[in-house]
Amino acid sequence: MGQNGTGKSTFIKLLAGMIQSTNKVDIPKINLSYKPQTISPKFNGTVQELFIMKIPKLWGDPQFQSDVVKPLKVNELIDYKVQNLSGGELQRTAIVLALGKPADLYLLDEPSAFLDAEQRIIASKVIRKYILNFKKTCFMVEHDFIMATYCADRVIVFEGEPGVKTTANKPMTLIEGMNKFLKIVDITFRRDPDN
């Protein structure tokens, strides 16, 4: 979890093979599915046509429908033109597309963007259940504490000067990572039993 997008965007792009390591370290090629932070709808058809084209195998799978599509309420969007979707509708569609692509590693960059509080909790549960059921690995960049706590087993906290130089800490437990992040941003919680 970072304070801005610079460190985490670089981390995701490095894993996705979109940029080279500054240390010239070769990142092994792996089968991955990437949901970018910014979603620019270019497909000139309906949501259903997009799913049939991009994820035909899982789109027709009853388990995928019940575990991913229905909870995210994407089945309500299948007749809508992709280019006419709202931000939240695009985000839910992008999550389905990302999870619908068979991969060993799932990279999800801010899946909470444009989702309301209820949708964030649902999306968190869907993502976590999917990743655990299929025994996959997911790296998620997320600034929303609720979504991060629902999804994460481990977190990587970035430190440094935002937009200038950041360093990723080693993966740590959720509690350890949240405490470290809160300390970095100088936030404490009151422990007063009356408040």
Q: What is the CATH number of domain 5-39+63-184?
A: 3.40.50.300
The answer on pLDDT for 127 being more than 70 is yes
Output the pTM of the full model.
Answer: 0.81
Q: How far is CA 81 from CA 49, 71, 78, in A?
A: 9, 21, 8
State the Cα–Cα distance between residues 6 and 106, nearest whole angstrom: 20
Quote the pLDDT of residue 72.
98
Domains of the chain: which residue ranges? 5-39+63-184
On average, the pLDDT of the chain sits at 87
Higher pLDDT, 10 or 70: 70
* For range 69-75, the mean pLDDT: 97
